[in-house]
């Protein structure tokens, strides 16, 4: 049973992760802002409570595997890993630079602790399903987590993975979908309507849990529930706010693929975006 103090500690980690995301994106002058900020609470919960892992031994055989399908939100993963001790926090400022281990999409052979290379949307759930199936064949006890976006549900490969996982009843697989309702060209329901998402996964023999993606207790409880489900994989459908913590950019799809200093200027001038966003982030915590 998680305590109130543990929840508060994870919330503090999420704030620190958001701060790092803004700083590293502003330094890189390229990258995605809305999605990483929106997933900070979930990544904080994963790396500081849910996952079985060891930053000092990233290749530990019994570790849980985290597959990031929507690789463009990798700044949140890098920030969470740095705060968890996988590499120095200062390395976050090398994001997207030539020779850096922290590329714009994660590369498995560059950074210990990254399980798969991702970039093309829609492939992560198939990769995770195959990995979970192989783990069961080998009688391994670790769990496989697949983080994915709502926009990539438009990709056919996602549904091939969903069918495979449902058919083979991969109980060791937990998928977490960032349901933030935006993608690079607009709102998901305008670009390509996705609803009813939960019912679609249930039809593919998945157990579905819908949560508020910024409620850390709800997310941890959902992960615990997933462990108890027999004969089905689990989807945690996390309703999140893109750009969470920075009111100037919350729910604005234009910040899907823009970093501070390069984004829309109708609310904040480009040269003031980094400092304004950091200030807003602190103010939302008061």
Is residue 285 over pLDDT 80?
A: no
E strands, the chain, are 65-68, 144-149, 173-179, 182-183, 186-187, 207-212, 234-239
Question: How large is the average pLDDT for residues 263-283?
Answer: 96
Residues 6+ apart with CB under 8 A from 28: 95, 96, 97, 259
Running DSSP on this structure, what letter comes out for residue 73? G
Residues 6+ apart with CB under 8 A from 1: none
Is residue 157 over pLDDT 90?
A: yes
The proportion of the chain whose per-residue pLDDT surpasses 90, expressed as a percent, equals: 98
> What is the spatial distance between Cα 258 and Cα 36, in angstroms, rounded to a whole number?
12
Running DSSP on this structure, what letter comes out for residue 107? -
pTM of the complete model = 0.96
What does the pLDDT read at residue 1?
78
- Sign of the four-CA dihedral 21, 24, 27, 29: negative
Q: Which domain CATH number covers 131? A: 3.40.50.970
Question: How large is the average pLDDT for residues 37-57?
Answer: 98
> What six digits make up the tokens of 186?
């607009």
Domain extent for 176: 4-283
Domain total in the chain: 1
> What six digits make up the tokens of 37?
């900020």
Task: Indicate the pLDDT class of residue 286, thresholds 50, 70 and 90.
Answer: low
């Amino acid at each position: 049973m998680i305590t109130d103090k543990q929840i508060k500690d994870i919330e503090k980690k999420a704030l620190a992760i958001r701060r790092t995301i803004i700083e590293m994106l502003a330094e890189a002058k390229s990258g995605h802002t809305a999605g990483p900020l929106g997933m900070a609470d979930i990544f904080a919960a994963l790396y500081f409570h849910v996952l079985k892992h060891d930053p000092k031994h990233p290749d530990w055989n019994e570790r849980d595997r985290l597959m990031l399908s929507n690789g463009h939100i990798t700044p949140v993963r890098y920030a969470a890993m740095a705060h968890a001790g996988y590499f120095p926090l200062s390395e976050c400022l090398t994001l997207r630079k030539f020779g850096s281990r922290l590329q714009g999409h994660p590369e498995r052979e560059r950074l210990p602790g990254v399980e798969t290379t991702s970039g093309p949307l829609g492939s992560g759930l198939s990769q995770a399903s195959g990995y979970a199936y192989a783990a069961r064949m080998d009688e391994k006890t670790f769990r496989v987590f697949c983080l994915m976006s709502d926009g990539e549900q438009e990709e056919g490969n996602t549904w091939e993975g969903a069918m495979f996982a449902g058919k083979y009843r991969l109980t060791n697989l937990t998928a977490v979908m960032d349901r933030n309702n935006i993608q690079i060209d607009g709102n998901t329901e305008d670009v390509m309507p996705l609803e009813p998402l939960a019912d679609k996964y249930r039809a593919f023999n998945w157990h579905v849990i819908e949560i508020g993606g910024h409620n850390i207790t709800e997310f941890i409880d959902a992960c615990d529930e997933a462990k108890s489900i027999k004969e089905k994989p689990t989807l945690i459908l996390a309703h999140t706010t893109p750009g969470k913590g920075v009111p100037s950019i919350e729910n604005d799809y234009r910040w899907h693929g823009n970093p501070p200093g390069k984004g829309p200027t109708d609310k904040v001038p480009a040269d003031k975006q980094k400092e304004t966003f950091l200030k807003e982030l602190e103010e939302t915590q008061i």
